[in-house]
Structure 1
Amino acid sequence: MNQSAKRQTKAKIVSAAWKLFYQNGYDDTTIDDIVEASGTSKGSFYHYFRTKDDLLASLSYLFDDKYTELDSTMDPALTPLEKLIFMNRELFLMIENTVPVTLLCQLFSTQLITKGERHMLDPDRVYYRRLRQIVMEGQKDLLFRADLSVNDIMKAYAMFERGMMYDWCLSSGSYSLCQYSQQILPLFLKSLCRQA
């Protein structure tokens, strides 16, 4: 099996698992359910994941799939700030509509205690590659402050998004993550921009 086919198989498993977790709950979803819904085999499942719990760390892969999907729907004429706001809105809508807040909490807790790979921080993620492109475009257009590097802006933005998700988890999803972020994100982004 080539690399592309392997990625597609893993993506099918992850996507099916998270849909089932949302529909049926994590505890009521079995590995057999995931295998059946993904149209893969138990061998494929165990090739990528040792247990169902290992899927908790895969949520960031689902996020990256969303960013890849947004490539075809995002208007290239948007400014870098508009692109960041668009990406944030679409991701947070997806989280609100497909990710149980309890599982997002578990993702954060597993990333805090893991001694191995922390995929959420992997600089090769689609998320960081898209973010880097947009920030570099903003730097080229003299939109962002000159005293901040591309990495400084990327780190600040990623921390903002993680902080929003973390607060939403602490609040047990009691407010709209997307709506609140759409109010606060423009204010945050303004702090990264050159003053007119």
Structure 2
Amino acid sequence: MRKSNNQTKSKIVSAAWQLFYDQGFDNTTVDEIIRLSGTSKGSFYHYFESKDSLIGSLAYLFDEKYAELEQQLDYGKNAVDNMLFLTRELCMMIENNIDIELLSRLYAQQLSKRGQKELLDHTRLYYRLLKKLTIQGQERGEITRQKSSAEIVRLYAITERALLYDWCLHGGEYSLTEYAGSVMPLMLSAIRI
């Protein structure tokens, strides 16, 4: 039953983000999301209070990309190189598939939202994967032990969020992927041995 519930929610999220990308957030209705997802109005409102509450699900859409990327990681490589790979691939996905206005709304919502803030949900695959890579890197002597794995993951996440936030502030006027490719190695040089 739980798998079916997760599939229903996933269908709603996938349909919503497809419509948001194709026709814009403001031009998408809940009825269109329900129709495209093949679910019911009751299912929609079971998982989401409104269309606006779907904005936070973008963080989980990122996790779907991380699940795909996790399969491509080479754990024989340096852990920091794997972290840089994740950043590059996510930035490319965002740049090519996520409307910057929706990403901006996510950040605005997270700043003003009470209760759960999806970007800080440490049960997400994003945090678990970064922690796994950090611990692996520390055990193999690739990443400093002067900071805990939790501190390193936090620093990494803060830097990545700053990159995305700045890109939104500038209206996407530069390549997020290229800029992240120059900034993240600098940040990670502080933890790399």
TM-score by length of 1: 0.94
Aligned to 1:104: 103
Q: Which runs of 4+ in 1 moved over 6 A?
A: none
2:73 counterpart of 1:63: no
Deviates more, 1:152-161 or 1:13-22: 13-22
> Structure 1 residues 77, 146: CA separation in 2 closer, same or farther (over 3 Å shift)?
closer
Structure 1 unaligned segments of length 5 or more: list them: none
Question: Retained in 2: the 8 A contact 1:16–1:37?
Answer: yes
Matched residues in 1 for 2:17 and 2:96: separation?
Answer: 11
**Aligned residues: CA RMSD:** 1.1
Query: Which residue number corresponds to residue 130 of structure 1?
Result: 129
Q: SS at 2:189's partner residue? A: helix
Deviations 1:27-50 (A, max 9, x none): 111111111222222221111011
Q: Is the 8 A contact 2:69 2:86 kept in 1?
A: yes
Identity of aligned residues (%): 45
**Post-superposition CA distance 1:49-105 (Å, at most 9, x none):** 111011011110101111111122223333211110111111111111121111111
AA partner of residue 68 (structure 1): A
Would you say 1:46 and 2:42 are equivalent positions?
Answer: no
Task: Verify the 8 A CA contact 2:80 2:192 in the aligned structure 1.
Answer: no
Letter in 2 for 1:177: L
The corresponding residue for 1:167 is 166
**Preserved contact between residue 78 and residue 142 of structure 2 (Cα < 8 Å):** no
Aligned residues: 193
